[in-house]
Amino acid sequence: MDNLLLGSRWFAEGVTRLGDHLYQLTWQTGTIFKWLIKPDYTLVAAGSSQGPLTDGWGLASDGSSLLATDSSAFIYFINPSTMKETKRIQVTDGGVPIKWLNEIEVIEGELWGNIWQTECLARINMTTGMVTHWVMMHGLMQGLRSRFPTNAGMDVLNGIAYDKDKKRLFVTGKKWPKIFEVSLQPLE
């Protein structure tokens, strides 16, 4: 993959692949950049559009739509051809809206998202918006800080990735020196 610089005007936040394109969402502008992935995995700029958000945080794909967050309790479904919003769902747990949705990832038909400034992930039904499970990641950042005390820039949990071929879940955070493979265990 190429290393691409957008320039100081944009701060890249979410990125996702849909077909043979990468889509990249920007913070505080909501601009969505589109990149063609060539067979040798180099990227070619394929345009940019103003999406429906003014503040982009997370971006994922369900295989046909782009899904985006803006720190609210809503998930926005976006048509990748027109960059227009086609649907919006509110994320709730027990009827209470869950705001500060940040990084998101579609994992086996379910939307996973981290909640900004927390160490937990919400597993979200993409039809109803209801949280079906919580994944607690407590202590992960504290452990990192004790192992890497000189990394003062380390910030919030903010990265979710899934290897669908090997069914592996990975998490990381802003300026974290490590990426973690996560194995889920039920709470007792």
The CATH number of the domain where 130 resides is what? 2.130.10.10
In the chain, % of residues over pLDDT 70: 96
Q: Cα 153 to the chain's mean position, in Å?
A: 20
Can you name the residues that pair with 75 across neighbouring β-strands?
89
Phi, psi of 142 (to 5 degrees): -60, -40
Please tell me the predicted confidence (pLDDT) of residue 4.
59
The predicted pLDDT at position 77 comes to 97
Say how many domains are in the chain.
1
At residue 141, the pLDDT reads 81
Give the pLDDT score at 72: 95
Does any domain span residue 148? no
pLDDT > 90? residue 5: no
Confidence of residue 107 (pLDDT cuts 50, 70, 90): very high
In whole angstroms, give the CA distance from residue 156 to residue 146. 15
Between 151 and 49, residue with greater pLDDT: 49
37 in a structural domain: yes
What is the per-residue pLDDT for 84?
Answer: 94
Domain assignment of residue 16, given as a range: 11-138
pLDDT of residue 188: 64
Residue 143, in any domain of the structure? no
Q: Which residues pair with 68 in a beta bridge?
A: 59, 76
pLDDT at 86: 97
Instruction: With respect to residue 184, please indicate whether it lies within any of the assigned structural domains.
Output: no
Most confident of 18-32, 43-57, 67-81, 144-158: 67-81
Q: How many Å apart are CA 98 and CA 144, to the nearest integer?
A: 27
Residues 6+ apart with CB under 8 A from 5: none
The predicted structure's pLDDT at residue 20: 93
**Within-domain flag for 144:** no
State the Rg of the chain over Cα.
16
Q: Is residue 169 part of a domain?
A: no
- Does the global pTM surpass 0.75? yes
Residue 188 lies in a domain: no
> Which pLDDT value is given to residue 82?
93
Examine residue 115 and state whether it is found in any structural domain, yes or no: yes
Is the pLDDT confidence value at 146 over 90? no
- Split at pLDDT 50, 70, 90, the class of 3 is low
Those residues whose C-beta lies under 8 Å from the C-beta of residue 19, and which sit 6 or more positions away, are none
Mean pLDDT of the chain: 89
Tell me the average pLDDT across 173-177. Answer: 87
